[in-house]
């Protein structure tokens, strides 16, 4: 008979061993390619199951400034890193009044720039449009806008983002199309359809609206697995790499870091774009200091990155 007084250890509690006592997998920053900047958690809308809880009132992550971004770009110039891409996420990045300038200084340093946006009202303000047009004219294809389009149907998209949001997002995408911007799409795998069916639906939408986005390319039409921390997922051990035929280099914390500015604090570097609030993934104020190994000690590490195979980078 099982002794009920002996509790089973909880998963994802010890950074070194799993609940079963096996060695937890760890990932080193082996090939830094993308540095993310979270521009702040404020957003013009509130979405169902937003992993970062962005909303018109959540300012838990404060606005980054141009000076914040420049300090990290200066640090990168002195590191032996082959960073290719600077990426901006939120919240809604175009809520940040310095978004255009942050993109500009990054492009001027020679990086590719990726901006995640819902392509709604903040992006469509005349001053933002003028700034984007200037960046496109000067830097061309090195700037990409990845639009959050949860599903290829308006009904499903609006169920996540509010009535009428699908139409407003498509209007923003139409403007990007008409002005020659590189576009990508970020979708969600919430619905009962296969990956192939989802991509077929997006392909039809893109063709209908003449969007130059490849629905079959997982780097331009990114379909993210849903991130529900209440779902039971296996912990990733060192043995899993061989069992799953994967490498630590396949996980995004091997190639990226993200800068955040928590309200009332100085900017800091975190291991993962998905975990800005979990202090165990805070690696300190500098990029150089954030180059160490990361323990895969969160359900997102398993479901999203290792088992889901997703990546936020382009």
pLDDT digit string (tens) for 53-73?
999 999 999 999 999 999 999
Q: Is residue 314 part of a domain?
A: no
* Residue 307: predicted pLDDT: 83
How far is 210 from 216, CA to CA, in rounded Å? 15
Percent of the chain with pLDDT over 70: 94
- What whole-number distance in Å separates Cα of residue 305 and Cα of residue 295? 13
Has residue 236 been placed in a domain? Answer: yes
- Overall average pLDDT of the 175-195 stretch: 94
Question: What per-residue confidence (pLDDT) applies to 172?
Answer: 98
Q: What is the largest CA-CA distance in the chain?
A: 73
State phi, psi for 256 to the nearest 5 degrees. -150, 160
Q: Looking at residues 218-230, what average pLDDT do you find?
A: 82
Whether residue 11 is contained in a domain is answered as: no
Asked if residue 7 belongs to a domain, the reply is: no
pLDDT of residue 227: 66
Residue 262 lies in a domain: yes
**Closest CA relative to residue 58, chosen from 40, 84, 37, 38:** 40
The residues, any chain, with a CB within 8 Å of residue 55's CB and separated by 6 or more, are: 41, 42, 43, 45, 46
Is 283 within a domain? yes
pLDDT in tens, 25-61: 999 999 999 999 999 999 999 999 888 999 999 999 9
Q: Name the pLDDT band for 5 (thresholds 50, 70, 90).
A: very low
Q: Assign 191 a pLDDT band (cuts: 50, 70, 90).
A: confident
Domain that holds residue 271: 31-307
The string of pLDDT tens digits covering residues 293-305 is 999 999 888 888 8
Whole-model pTM: value is 0.93
Mean pLDDT value of segment 203-218: 98
Residue 305 is predicted with a pLDDT of 85
- 107-148 residue pLDDT tens: 999 999 999 999 999 999 999 999 999 999 999 999 999 999
pLDDT value for 303: 82
Residues listed for the chain: 314
Over 80: is that where the pLDDT of 3 sits?
no
What pLDDT, on a 0 to 100 scale, did the predictor assign at position 309? 57
User: Could you write out the DSSP letters of every residue in the chain?
Assistant: ---TTSPPPPTT--SSB-TTSPBBPEE---S--EEEEE--SB-SS--TT-TT--BSS--SBPPP-HHHHHHHHHHHHTS-----EEEEESS-GGGSTTHHHHHHHHHHTT-EEEEEE--STTTTSHHHHHHHHHHHHHHGGGEEEEEE---SSHHHHHHHH-TTHHHHHHHHHHHHHHTT-EEEEEEE--SSS-HHHHHHHHHHHHHHHT----TT-TTTEEEEPP--TTS--PPPBTTHHHHHT--GGGSGGGTEEEEE-BTTS--EEES-TT-SS-GGGB--S-TGGG-S-EE--SHHIIIIIIIS---S--
**How many domains does the chain divide into?**
1
Place 313 in a pLDDT band, splitting at 50, 70 and 90: very low
In a domain, 198, yes or no: yes
Query: Is it the case that residue 192 has pLDDT exceeding 90?
Result: no
φ/ψ of residue 140, rounded to 5: 55, -130
CATH of the domain at 77: 3.20.20.70
4, part of any domain: no
């Amino acid at each position: 008979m099982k002794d009920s007084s002996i509790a089973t250890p909880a998963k994802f509690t010890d950074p070194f061993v799993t609940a079963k006592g096996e060695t937890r997998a760890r990932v080193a920053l082996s090939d830094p390619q993308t540095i993310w900047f979270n521009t702040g958690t404020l957003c013009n809308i509130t979405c169902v199951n937003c992993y970062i809880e962005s909303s018109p009132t959540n300012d838990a992550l404060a606005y980054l400034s141009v000076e914040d971004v420049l300090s990290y770009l200066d640090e990168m110039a002195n590191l032996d890193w082959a960073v290719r891409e600077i990426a901006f996420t939120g919240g809604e990045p175009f809520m940040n009044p310095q978004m255009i300038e942050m993109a500009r200084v990054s492009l001027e340093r020679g990086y590719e720039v990726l901006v995640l946006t819902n392509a709604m009202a903040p992006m469509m303000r005349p001053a933002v449009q003028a700034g984007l047009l200037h960046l496109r004219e000067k830097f061309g294809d090195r700037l990409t806008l990845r639009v959050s389009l949860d599903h290829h149907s308006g009904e499903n998209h609006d169920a996540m983002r509010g009535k009428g949001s699908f139409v407003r997002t498509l209007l923003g995408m139409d403007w990007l199309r008409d002005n020659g911007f590189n576009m990508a799409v970020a979708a969600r795998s919430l619905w009962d359809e296969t990956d192939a069916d989802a991509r077929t639906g997006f392909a039809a939408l893109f063709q209908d609206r003449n969007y130059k986005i490849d629905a079959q390319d997982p780097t331009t039409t990114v379909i993210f697995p849903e991130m529900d921390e209440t779902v039971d997922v296996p912990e990733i051990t060192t043995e899993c790499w061989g069992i799953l035929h994967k490498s630590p280099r396949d996980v995004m914390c091997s190639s990226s870091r993200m800068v955040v500015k928590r309200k009332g604090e100085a900017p800091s570097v975190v291991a993962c774009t998905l975990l800005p609030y979990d202090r165990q993934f805070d690696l300190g104020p500098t990029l150089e200091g954030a180059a160490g190994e990361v323990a895969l000690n969160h359900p997102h590490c398993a479901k999203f990155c290792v088992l889901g195979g997703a990546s936020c980078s382009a």
